[in-house]
Structure 1
């Protein structure tokens, strides 16, 4: 397929099948660690795998890299060992394990591992099956190379087990430190649930990893102008499907900064229940409690924008091979 790129009038062949990986790492305050992780990723920039976005949150002490590359898995045979995306993700994972110790980590966002979550989405004409095959390949690679227990979810799991169910089984949602913080390791070394890949025990320095594949989801955070975490959690529950609120919406009420809390929302079917509906519901609920609910924000680009940014970045690299992200 041929596509005109933006307003620059250039034409290039667009990859028909792309996979997006969202790599969540439990660190955002250690600058040298982030630099090492990003440098490990840049080594693959000539292989048409690129970081198209990064979100750092100091209060949560968490970073997310949005990485995209073409899909070279044919849907029948898993040839992912040569996948630029798998190689880039594994290089960044290795750098994370080398520079981050979970025992020294604390933040206002739940986590169970240094490499806490890796999520694969199909983009353009790629299939969910292809994204799931890549997720399972990365899970085996990570578990084998680093001896880290891996729990699969979504399309990567044999029965499509949901991420939130796995997290509840492992105690993910319960803070273990003062001020609604998560600090150090939170789960017994003998895991309460057998992982899909890797050992049944783990190091406290690395923790575990959750790896999944699913259709595109929206990640939307809404600031609540109160420091009362119990009130934020109450509103979060009321807007979520689990609490009888909006279908396909999952939420977390979290401490965030000195003067407010935040409701982190996962929109599992954003084309059906989107950010506007979540925002309106929270504003109404907040008004009933006498609270000011600020305008929320997406933590990543839309899937269409990510594809556009990927094409533009690849096009720019073809013109200037020495360019860096």
Structure 2
């Protein structure tokens, strides 16, 4: 049986059970021509489903949530997933239409295709997610000639994403007003990439690709332009600052009159949005600042599977 031509019964079974979710973060949300080209590329393969698109103009960033199935050989080894060709097609469109040197926004980034995370869904495993992440990394490095850093379960030692980002200066703004613009102007890469060249194209930057268990993105608006206060609050909410376990945060500008505590919930079933919301409200009150209700940037795994199944069955 060909890897990309399973019979219909087997194909239907895997399309319903062994699923991978790819979250693709691209550094652009204002260039409509580039975004339309990316959107066309994302729809080329009908067996990859776009479950969610989240645009943030202030951050100048767009996130795609893509889902598809995995095919295995007779030994149970994964050999094919439509997500690979879809992500590569999206990346090709992104690199053609976006120049990182012309990019600016309130969210940190190090590349045009800034971050790709693969999550297992349904009966898929982290091993299968890591398999796809490593295949993508190899193709990005050879085809697009961008340095690629693997993280979490795709990395040989499980190195965390935030550790690599810190080493590469991801969290250091390079423009007034705590904003990011152009390439960060690193003279050389302080850490050798896992795939691709050691030399960085300033137009394309670098790419992070990882695999890990589900994480949730939850952002809490603060009605103030005081970025210093937002960063103080963010530090005290995060695990690194002695706050909530398994929570990572950034305090960022977010439009006129507001800042935002952008959070990654590493164990959302243990430390969820309600914990974060309560902690931000408590700390903001100490700064005499008002807080709005936070929001997720994506659906839950259960909702993503449900949406995938509905879209697949409809098509």
Structure 2 length as normaliser, TM-score?
0.94
Residue ranges of structure 2 left out of the alignment (5+ in a row): 1-11
Q: Mean alpha-carbon deviation: is it higher for 180-189 or for 85-94?
A: 180-189
Q: Please name the residue that 2:65 is paired with.
A: 66
TM-superposed CA distance for 1:189, in Å, is: 4.7
Q: Secondary structure at the match of 2:58?
A: coil
Distance 2:251 2:70 in 1: 36
Structure 1, residues 22-56: CA drift from partner, whole Å, max 9, x if none?
000000000010110110111101xx211110000
Distance 2:308 2:21 in 1: 10
Q: Please name the residue that 1:152 is paired with.
A: 150
Would the aligned equivalents of 2:250 and 2:261 in 1 still touch at CA under 8 Å? yes
Structure 1, residues 248-278: CA drift from partner, whole Å, max 9, x if none?
0000000000111000000000011000001
Would the aligned equivalents of 1:248 and 1:273 in 2 still touch at CA under 8 Å? yes
Q: Are 1:103 and 2:101 matched, yes or no?
A: yes
Q: Mean alpha-carbon deviation: is it higher for 99-108 or for 287-296?
A: 287-296
Q: Please name the residue that 1:77 is paired with.
A: 77
Q: Please name the residue that 1:38 is paired with.
A: 39
Among 283, 286, 290, the residue aligned to 1:285: 283
Would the aligned equivalents of 1:170 and 1:187 in 2 still touch at CA under 8 Å? no
Equivalences for residues 129-208 of structure 1 within 5 A: 129-208=127-206
Distance 1:311 1:150 in 2: 32
Q: Secondary structure at the match of 1:246?
A: coil
Q: Please name the residue that 2:273 is paired with.
A: 275
Q: Please name the residue that 2:54 is paired with.
A: 55
Structure 1, residues 210-244: CA drift from partner, whole Å, max 9, x if none?
00000000100000111000000000000100000
Q: Please name the residue that 2:30 is paired with.
A: 29
Residue ranges of structure 1 left out of the alignment (5+ in a row): 1-11, 318-325
| Distance verdict in 2 for CA 1:234–1:73, change over 3 Å | farther
Q: Please name the residue that 1:323 is paired with.
A: none
Q: Secondary structure at the match of 1:54?
A: strand
TM-superposed CA distance for 1:187, in Å, is: 3.9
Structure 1, residues 124-176: CA drift from partner, whole Å, max 9, x if none?
00001000010000000111001100000010000000000000000000110
Distance 2:18 2:78 in 1: 15
TM-superposed CA distance for 1:73, in Å, is: 4.3
Distance 1:117 1:25 in 2: 7
Superposed CA RMSD? 1.3
Would the aligned equivalents of 1:73 and 1:130 in 2 still touch at CA under 8 Å? no
Distance 1:189 1:177 in 2: 17
TM-superposed CA distance for 1:308, in Å, is: 0.3
Question: How many matched pairs?
Answer: 302
Structure 1 length as normaliser, TM-score?
0.91
Distance 2:44 2:163 in 1: 36
TM-superposed CA distance for 1:316, in Å, is: 1.1
Distance 2:150 2:30 in 1: 28
